[in-house]
Amino acid sequence: MRELRGTPDGRRSRIGIALSRYNESITRGLLDGALAALRAGGVAEDAITVVHVPGALELPLAAQQLAQGGRHDAVLALGAVIRGETDHYAYVCAETASGCTRVALDTGVPVAFGVLTCETLALAQARAGAPAKNKGTEAARAALEMIDVLAQLREVAR
């Protein structure tokens, strides 16, 4: 039996980050967590590209552009959608998740989904703060692990 597990070693990885400006007080914390995790994983500063987009619905298109052409080994989609008084929340959450998944499947480049979908601002703040609970940190680690897992799968296929 063969088991493959990724490690968060990003020493030779190039990472694209699509970052929503909407709810910027939250998304900045997600970015800080992601960058700290990428640096801890050995990703070089000049191997990280951050693209700022207006909101969550723009994340999939930015992720697609980052994923195409072999310029990045993985992409992080970072944003925060907080429930309001209308159904808009449900549409934004569903379409953003679906779009990011489609980008990963269409390009073969991992897209780590670090988009908070929270009921309240307080819940979003809790998930964008301390490193132990920061979803940007989790997304970065997941991206690095997926880069390694995919490399291992390519080796197995040879």
Set 11, 12, 21, 88: catalytic member: 88
Reference 118, options 126, 110, 109; nearest CA is 126
In the chain, the largest separation of any two C-alpha atoms, in whole Å, equals: 53
Q: Is 37 exposed, middle or buried (0-12, 13-18, 19+ CB in 10 A)?
A: buried
Catalytic: 88? yes
Active site residues: 88
